[in-house]
Amino acid sequence: MTSLILRTATRVLMPLLLLYGLFLLLRGHNAPGGGFAGGLVVAAAYSLNAFAFGIPAARRALLVDPTRLIGTGLLLALLSGALPVLFGKAFLTALWPAPALGLGSPLIFDVGVFCVVIGVVLTMTFTLGEE
């Protein structure tokens, strides 16, 4: 059984960590941050949840299997690289259909990295915690 302080702190910190992870993801192609840093923060939030409430509760809170996140992230990263090829450009060339909004293929790549990092870290954390 974990401490009341840890469970209470987790309830407060989890939404803040998730929001900060999304913030890092969305500002990453213009400033420090990005999919890797944001993914680590989100994975830390779910790891904290696993420490406080147990791995089954953390898996339920995640809503998706971490290994599916790995596959989804890899597909998104590949798609962001292959998309420019369809327009006659080199693989992984940035496409900016809405540059004023910051929407482009680098964001798709960052979301892919974000998913892969969350999936890998949580797969390791959950597997080690269940042993």
The domain of 113 spans 4-130
| More confident of the two residues 99 and 121 | 121
Q: Give the HSE-up count for residue 18: Cα atoms under 13 Å, Cβ half-sphere.
A: 11
Predicted pLDDT of residue 131: 73
Q: Which amino acid is at 13?
A: L
Tokens for 85?
A: 């090829």
The C-alpha R_g of the chain, in whole angstroms, comes to: 17
Confidence of residue 87 (pLDDT cuts 50, 70, 90): confident
**DSSP SS3 for 104:** coil
The pTM assigned to this predicted structure is 0.90
Sign of CA dihedral 73, 37, 21, 18: positive
* pLDDT over 80 at 72, yes or no: yes
Q: Which of 16, 19, 10, 22 is nearest to 115 (CA)?
A: 22
Total structural domains within the chain? 1
* pLDDT over 80 at 100, yes or no: no
